[in-house]
Structure 1
Amino acid sequence: MATGSDRIAWVDYAKGICIIMVVMMHSTLGVQEATGEPSWMGALVAFAKPFRMPDFFLISGLFLARVIDRPWRRYLDTKVVHFAYFYVLWVTIQFVVKSHHFIEDGLAGALEAYALAYIQPFSTLWFIYLLPIFFVVSKLTRGVSPLIVWPLAAALQIAGVDTGSIVIDEFCARFVYFYSGYVFAAFFFRFADTVQQHPREAAALLLAWAVFEALMVFGGVSELPVVNLGLGFLGALAVISSGVLLWRLDLADFVRYAGENSIVIYLAFFLPMAATRILLLKFAPGLDTGLVSLIVTAMGVVTPLILHRVVRDTAFSFLFKRPDWAKLDPTPVSPPAKAS
């Protein structure tokens, strides 16, 4: 199930589904807030809410077992400094783009807001702020039995912690999924193999899940403790199933490509998303709100990929590729064995 040199195709498909859902959420909610009108895209966003970010974190933990025993220096370089570089770069870019929001506060207020972004993650970038924390916590608890760590992580999610701190609240809400991707990776890969071997049954179960998910969400019970945790894991299995089926049927290769470059989309989608929304609402005011949201989503996904292709062999490649000076160990690591 490999694509490219050492990538597993269904994982890229699953990541592609996740990043498209993330862009869809921000795009749709932004359009609805600007227009004051709901849309049919809003229903899709609500449907995906219980599993959208849990899936992303779970998939991010799937390959952790391959690297968690690396020496701390190399581990910190790839799992902390890597994301820290992109966070600092893109939080600065976002801050400059959105600087008009801080004009009234003066230079001192603007600098204070910028400094706060390193304590309270800025705008859409909280995901890559939190990932390094998850990687470090997982390595620090390497010697602790999952029978202790997993129930504690699940309890934090069920507790619905709400302190006002994005770092604390999202850690409590999401770590159980990341950690599950790590400690139960073998199960998720066996599940993907089963879907591959029984595609018709998997498609039928996927349809049944979609009906169940809709009943839970629109029935108003998806946010209940325990129920919300369970829906997150069921959604993860659904996304994995979807990824495997798309790969097996050789459909929607763009979704795979988006997943392969998910960090590119995540870092840069905010600007084309906002620009497209502003232009459409100004020059096509009568357009259906759902259609506007769909177009904004498409531009938010496609434009960063085009930008990446344009700059990757230029002096601006640093936007998406970490330069050697930002590495603890610039010596290239030998590539892993080819996935199959």
Structure 2
Amino acid sequence: MVLWHVVVKHYLQISWHIGVPVPSAWGTLGEQLLPLRMPVFFTISGVFAANAVKRPWRVLGRSRIAEFSYLYAVWLLIHTAILAAVPDFRTDHADSVLDLVEQLTITPSNLWYLYALALYFAFAKAVRQVPRPVILAAAAVLSVITAAGVLATPGDRGGFYQNLVFFLGGLYLKPYVERWAATATNRRLILTFVVYAAALTAMAAAGAQRWAGVWLVVSVTAVAFGITAAARLSRWRAVGDALAALGRRTLPIYVIHMPLLALLHRFLVGPMSGLGGDGQAFMAAGYPIVLTAVVMSLSLAIHHGLVAIHATWLFEPPGARRRQAALTAGSENGSHC
């Protein structure tokens, strides 16, 4: 996710004047990640949501719906304040009180993953008594007509509409997703990659991004590949441990990296555009990787500093740990009865 933002919102905004098409290659890679990154994230989120959705409304409301809504509102205000100082940075941000209210309610900002999770949890709980195939089919139709451009999708509303089906897929098909990951092989990794690459190539060659159902099918192949790749990587102990450690820090990276990237963009885009041809040729290939690592490291350092000064309210609602401890204690007591 961070790499995609680095490429699209910063790297491609630099004025490159080199004789090799490295920037366009990075741009093409960024486009290929679109059907992969959010569908995979939401499928995995749905898998982890399966137990939470079974809890009573009161518990789910406090532990998930209110938490994600709170984090979205807090960080939307922070993003709005910081991004106002970088008006040329290419991401949606509120320019007025009305815009801010709209982003808080009906047109989510670049923090829309938090917004979506809050509403997805509420929706999944509300429709628990409806047959799952009906709900999954309706979500698939919503994804298809959104990708086809039938619905208006200002801001990041399109992603919100398109990815409900993947959250519900992870939620409803959890045993199958877990079995798919547990039985992943190198052969399946290669096969799913080939299928995903072929689907991407065919979609791009035909200009079929807005054809009904095409985006959804390509995204499903992306999820199959993404989960297989994650499962295989996790079996390499060093890589798996590193990914697990990074996964536990996903929230601070997610909420901090965008305003941080915007500020870095403000100070770096001019000097990078002004580099000579040799300097740009040296930087072009590896610059997105290096800057992504810098942004992630700085995000974690900022998070560490904020926690050190007891600003934990930026990353969880006040009293969240106390409520979680009480919930855990209640569950343990219930198990002893």
Shorter-normalised TM range:
0.7 to 0.9
1:39-65 Cα offsets, whole Å, 9 max, x none, are 322121111112221111111110222
1:269-303 Cα offsets, whole Å, 9 max, x none, are 01221233333323343234554433332223222
Q: 1:311 aligns with which of 285, 292, 306?
A: 306
2:5 matches 1:26:
yes
1:190-244 Cα offsets, whole Å, 9 max, x none, are 111111xxx3323332442353244235423354322211111111121111111
Task: Note the C-alpha offset of 1:323.
Answer: 1.9
Task: Note the C-alpha offset of 1:255.
Answer: 3.1
1:120-153 Cα offsets, whole Å, 9 max, x none, are 4454111111111111111111000012111111
State the partner residue of 2:270. Answer: 282
Q: 2:175 aligns with which of 175, 186, 189?
A: 186
State the partner residue of 1:17. Answer: none
Equivalent residues in 2 for 1:95-106, closer than 5 Å: 95-100=80-85
Distance 2:272 2:37 in 1: 30
> Residue 170 of structure 1: SS of its match in structure 2?
helix
State the partner residue of 1:332. Answer: 326
> Residue 269 of structure 1: SS of its match in structure 2?
helix
2:262 matches 1:262:
no
Q: Flag the 1:271–1:170 CA change in 2: closer, same or farther, 3 A.
A: closer
1:276-334 Cα offsets, whole Å, 9 max, x none, are 3333323343234554433332223222122223332432222223321x799565321
Corresponding residue pairs, total: 306
1:162-215 Cα offsets, whole Å, 9 max, x none, are 2234575434311111111110111000111111xxx33233324423532442
TM-score, with normalisation over the residues of structure 1? Answer: 0.80
State the partner residue of 1:300. Answer: 295
Q: Flag the 1:97–1:241 CA change in 2: closer, same or farther, 3 A.
A: same
State the partner residue of 1:10. Answer: none
State the partner residue of 1:11. Answer: none
Q: Name the structure, 1 or 2, with higher relative contact order (CA <8 Å, separation 6+).
A: 1
Distance 1:166 1:31 in 2: 19
Distance 1:23 1:54 in 2: 16
Aligned-pair identity (%): 22
> Residue 296 of structure 1: SS of its match in structure 2?
helix
Distance 1:237 1:218 in 2: 20
Q: What root-mean-square deviation, in Å, do the aligned CA atoms of Structure 1 and Structure 2 show?
A: 2.7
Q: Flag the 1:211–1:327 CA change in 2: closer, same or farther, 3 A.
A: closer
Select between 123-132 and 160-169 the one with higher mean Cα deviation: 160-169
Distance 2:29 2:74 in 1: 32
State the partner residue of 1:48. Answer: 33
TM-score, with normalisation over the residues of structure 2? Answer: 0.81
Judge conservation of contact 1:82–1:327 (CA < 8 Å) in 2. no
Distance 1:316 1:75 in 2: 24
Distance 2:71 2:224 in 1: 29
Q: Flag the 1:276–1:289 CA change in 2: closer, same or farther, 3 A.
A: farther
Q: Flag the 1:293–1:278 CA change in 2: closer, same or farther, 3 A.
A: farther
Task: Note the C-alpha offset of 1:27.
Answer: 1.5
Q: 2:132 aligns with which of 146, 150, 164?
A: 146
Q: Flag the 1:218–1:187 CA change in 2: closer, same or farther, 3 A.
A: same
Q: Flag the 1:290–1:42 CA change in 2: closer, same or farther, 3 A.
A: farther
Distance 1:334 1:157 in 2: 37
2:163 matches 1:170:
no
Equivalent residues in 2 for 1:157-236, closer than 5 Å: 157-160=143-146, 161-166=150-155, 169-195=158-184, 199-219=185-205, 220-236=207-223
> Residue 116 of structure 1: SS of its match in structure 2?
helix
State the partner residue of 2:91. Answer: none
Gaps in structure 2 of 5+ consecutive residues = 17-22, 88-94, 333-337
1:236 partner letter: V
1:39 partner letter: S
Select between 208-217 and 46-55 the one with higher mean Cα deviation: 208-217
Gaps in structure 1 of 5+ consecutive residues = 1-21, 103-108
Distance 2:324 2:170 in 1: 28
1:29 partner letter: V
> Residue 50 of structure 1: SS of its match in structure 2?
helix
